[in-house]
Amino acid sequence: MARKSLVAANWKMHKTISEAVKFVEELQKLVESLDDREVLIVPPFTALHAVGNALNRGDFFLGAQNCFWEEKGAYTGEISPVMLKDVGCSYVLVGHSERRNIFGETDEMISKKVKALLRAGLSPVLCVGEKLEEREAGQTFQVVERQLKEGLLDIDVQSLAKIVIAYEPVWAIGTGKTASPAQAQEVHTFIRSTIEKISGDKSVAEGLRILYGGSVKPDNVDELMKEPDIDGLLVGGASLEVSSFKRIIEYR
């Protein structure tokens, strides 16, 4: 089954509102219309509304970097999935390694976020990936399997079809070290087979989009995207400049 790829810009804690709007206005003019791929812009919360208003193409979508799992209430500083839906998001990142490692997010918290997003009608982009010491200890599959099973606990098959997975080896994020296409492909195949096991449904696993993230750049994107199970990219550093992100969107 042909999967439409998804190329996502995770801006992390970068860009003011005016910088963010200028970026998307410029990018949308420069990128030719896309039929086999979609673009996801994931700005900081403060720029969501303005970027959402500036997006004017059917192949560009808005996403958020994080959320809380409750709908509303006394949770100072948090943002709910309902609010993200209201501001125009279609996707929300969950369990990014910076959330796990700097802010102490556990698989249990991530699972609550995934469920809350699905309840609000949003697509979670569940990020998984091993640390360097885990890879060196031969635990990559074990770690990724645990993150998938616990992050997707009790999710029904229909909802699983709305989820996107991002494989982001922690040792490759922001380090300049990319997983080789073969290393990434190996884990992507493993993720697809794990989703087949979890869902008991081959077509859900076949339709699942699995993004690769970790130091994706204009000069390594083409090789990565040739792999059959890499269905898109989650890009940090190289998504902050229009010219490099445009080249990544236009992988060939």
Q: What residues are labeled active site?
A: 96, 168
Q: Which stretch binds ligand PEP (CB under 6 A): 30-38, 151-159, 190-198, 228-236?
A: 228-236
Per this entry, what is the length of the chain?
A: 252
Among 236, 244, 245, 248, binds ligand PEP (CB under 6 A): 236
Determine, following the binding rule CB under 6 A, whether residue 224 of this chain makes contact with ligand PEP: no
Q: Which among 139, 187, 138 has a CA at the least distance from the CA of 165? A: 187
Of 44, 63, 169, 237, the residue at the interface with ligand PEP (CB under 6 A) is: 237
- Residue 115 has φ and ψ, to the nearest 5°, of -65, -40
Q: Kindly give, in sequence order, each residue whose CB lies less than 8 Å from that of residue 9, ignoring residues fewer than 6 positions away.
A: 39, 40, 41, 42, 235, 239, 240, 245
**Residues 149-188 vs ligand PEP: string with x where CB under 6 A?**
-------------------x----xx--------------
CB of 237 to ligand PEP, least distance (A): 3
Q: How far is the CB of 9 from ligand PEP (least distance, A)?
A: 9
CB-nearer residue toward ligand PEP: 214 or 232? 214
Closest CA to 190 of 249, 220, 147, 234: 147
Interface with ligand PEP includes 129 (CB under 6 A)? no
Q: What is the amino acid identity at position 92? A: V
Given the complex with ligand PEP, which of 168 and 229 has the nearer CB atom? 168
* 213 touching ligand PEP, by CB under 6 A: yes
C-alpha 93/C-alpha 89 separation (Å) is: 11
Angle at 121 between CA 119 and CA 122, to 5 degrees: 105
Residue nearest ligand PEP, CB atom distance: 236
Q: Are the C-beta atoms of residues 17 and 50 closer than 8 Å to each other?
A: yes
Residues forming the site for ligand PEP (CB under 6 A):
10, 168, 173-174, 213-216, 234-238
